[in-house]
Chains A and B, each alone.
Chain A
């Protein structure tokens, strides 16, 4: 009985591929999820402050608005790759190391948070000011307006913002991967680029495309469900 070498080759090929791809995908998902969550923990309050302190809003404060706005702009204009390097000492002091997946989350958060602030700001600005005035006329406090008017009224738009942010964080994780952050980006560079494994390159790209598609579809569907 002739030995089917091509079958064996295929089995080992796929086993080999999966051995690399599965953990890399896991790392990417971990980085994306953690970065997005922390970016929102910082960016959401920042976005809210940018809106409510803007002229003519519920707590106008030009000084706060301009200072935070400038900070956000500076962070957003710094190229990610530079931030990645510049933040190494800071990262070390926060997570104890500057290499690895967890360490990559620090620069990812620092670069995504100002982006989140702007995305949140633009969502909250879509709420017609008349609705806010109606709430003011009922005696609502600034805190109540934020909790009961701004955030719930902008919910659908905020969800779309989360999808946009997550997707752009995926792009950045690929970059973070190149400096030892792990994940699919790292894999694509190490095998696909440096070792000419075009197959690995293609598989990583396909997985990234699928992840992006899923997140966007989820975001759109959820936003539609929340729009009345």
Chain B
């Protein structure tokens, strides 16, 4: 649905040139909820703003629904933008219009007849659950309600793509979840392709199907959420993952454990149905090792289970080797954190 090819965006000023996007290529499939995560200043907003040409790329291509946006005339670009909705961290609603009038705005822009507008606005109010607020003004709404209006407004012209720039960053955790659920529903109901810019791994964990990690203007890794969570390639990705699945053992504990003979520390990660298997019991029954559970967590990665278990395995080298063989046979990802002495 969206192809980004060798995108470069530079900002020139008297102080010099800043490269905000450095040769980024991405392919975002129809129906994906594609997360783009990075630290502040990494270039996330610049990247997403290049996707509807609010920011004009210095070079490279942005192809949305088969159209290279960088090649369009102003008029064609305006037309193309009606197929790309966008929501913002600070909502940017029109203060002088009611909720219903805000939602009607993009339809007026598109020249939709009045009668159709009022029907469509009703549908959208229903979709985002704000039927009772239709004649309220934005100043009378909570942050979560404002973002719902933002979403309804962005979807008014039935776009195929929805861009979200930190759409939940101004909201509390509870409201964030309700907005994310709404976005997931819309993604499923309408088959909409969503691009989610965020600095919170929690958002990615909650709803994204794919993720790209952007660091200092470059994409350092990307792929389906499960594979990035299981096998992160970069330190920055590992750091982001540890914010939602903390798995660092306290240093003093590691030090104490390092004096144990015939013991190693392993981290086992499991996904989906594996998460509900009785792994430990099977491990102990099959192999002649003992296990000491140091840390465990289980949580959802979107709708699949994702678990981490940190164990101290006790046994002689042959027994430990046997344990590894067993774990590998169960298709579990095993990482040795501390080897046996």
Contact = CB atoms under 8 A, between A and B. Distances in A.
A141 B94 contact: no
Contacts of A138: 81-82, 85, 105-106, 109-110, 153, 157
B110 A130 contact: no
B54 A137 contact: yes
A199 interface: no
Contact of A130 (B90, B137, B157): B90
Nearest to B80: A139
B52 A137 contact: yes
A134 B97 CA distance: 14
By size class, the interface of chain A is 20 to 34
Contacts of A130: 88, 90, 92
Given A135-B109, A139-B81, A152 B96 contact: yes
A138 B154 CA distance: 8
A139 B78 contact: yes
By size class, the interface of chain B is 20 to 34
Contacts of B79: 139
Contact of A228 (B84, B137, B157): B137
A140 B109 contact: yes
Chain B interface SS verdict (over half): mixed
Interface string B92-113: 1111110000000110111000
A149 B92 CA distance: 11
Nearest to B77: A139
Contacts of B249: none
Nearest to A136: B54
Interface in B41-93: 52, 54, 77-82, 84-86, 88, 90, 92-93
B57 to A, nearest CB: 16
B90 A148 contact: no
A153 B140 CA distance: 16
B139 interface: yes
B96 A155 contact: yes
A133 B78 contact: no
Contacts of B157: 138-139
Interface in A129-160: 130-131, 133-141, 144, 148-149, 152-153, 155
Given A135-B105, A138-B105, A228-B137, A149 B94 contact: yes
A144 B94 CA distance: 14
Contacts of B77: 139
Contact of B95 (A135, A137, A153): A153
Contacts of A64: none
Interface in A107-138: 128, 130-131, 133-138
Contacts of A139: 77-82, 106, 109-110, 157
A226 interface: yes
Given A137-B86, A138-B81, A155-B96, A148 B54 contact: no
Given A140-B78, A140-B109, A144-B109, A134 B86 contact: yes
B92 A128 contact: yes
A148 B105 contact: yes
Contacts of B153: 138
B109 A131 contact: no
Given A133-B54, A134-B86, A153 B109 contact: no
A141 B90 CA distance: 22
Contact of A137 (B81, B90, B139, B140): B81
Given A138-B82, A139-B81, A152 B94 contact: yes
Contacts of B97: 152
Given A133-B54, A134-B86, A148-B105, 10 more contacts: A137-B85, A138-B82, A138-B106, A139-B78, A139-B109, A140-B78, A148-B109, A153-B96, A228-B96, A228-B139
Can you list the 7 inter-chain pairs with the closest CB atoms, starting with the nearest? A228-B137, A139-B81, A139-B78, A138-B106, A134-B92, A137-B86, A130-B92
Interface of A: 128, 130-131, 133-141, 144, 148-149, 152-153, 155, 226, 228
17 contacts: A130-B88, A131-B93, A133-B88, A134-B86, A134-B88, A135-B105, A136-B54, A137-B81, A137-B163, A138-B82, A139-B78, A139-B81, A140-B109, A148-B109, A152-B96, A228-B139, A228-B140
